[in-house]
Structure 1
């Protein structure tokens, strides 16, 4: 086991448990690697399959690397839908030339759904490379995609 994995797991194990450990390890590599799963299993006295079962329950835990360099995930919850996520989705699709669930041909962007982001008061919400954006509109997301992501 990598020493860095052990340190992250030890630090998060006491304060938050396996979910916090998964999120911290995911932050390192962009997703939960096989080696990270094995380290979690060992430290939490679980089978690797149990760690995978737990991780697969949560939409914010990624078990594979993102397909695009920039990953855009829009909340799939009812409050975001009611607040206009369909219009935001249409704006992203138009700006990138892809549909939700696809990756641009150049591999720069992938676009998909995520479950509730817990920001219902500021809907619709989306996450771009693990950074939360709230109160989104078609205009705001178009501006972000035109270059505001690097700022």
Structure 2
């Protein structure tokens, strides 16, 4: 009588493990990029209160020079998990990002610089010491 094979052979199991390893090698860097991008979006969302405060200040005072932290409708600083400190001077918002918060090796910054137009304020977003995925995500939000 012939013996019927039970289960998988060693080579079949090794092929499956190799395929999983290849997929993991491709997926893990992409996952890190996606998490960094989502953290950048969250950090920008936490700065919306400051953007609104600066816009309100510029509308009421007629200039961005009077728009400082904790004055003329601009809220006082607050810390979150992704933003350790916020500074506002003449409408320019500078957020300090702690090390390893978005994949950055050391502390970085996100700067929102306003331009007072005829009907609206436009924001130029720049960053320092951030991973490429975060910088790309922030540049898409420039408006």
Q: TM-score, normalised by structure 1?
A: 0.22
Q: Which has the higher contact order (CA 8 A, sep 6+)?
A: 1
**Greater CA radius of gyration, 1 or 2?**
2
More helix by share: 1
More strand by share: 2
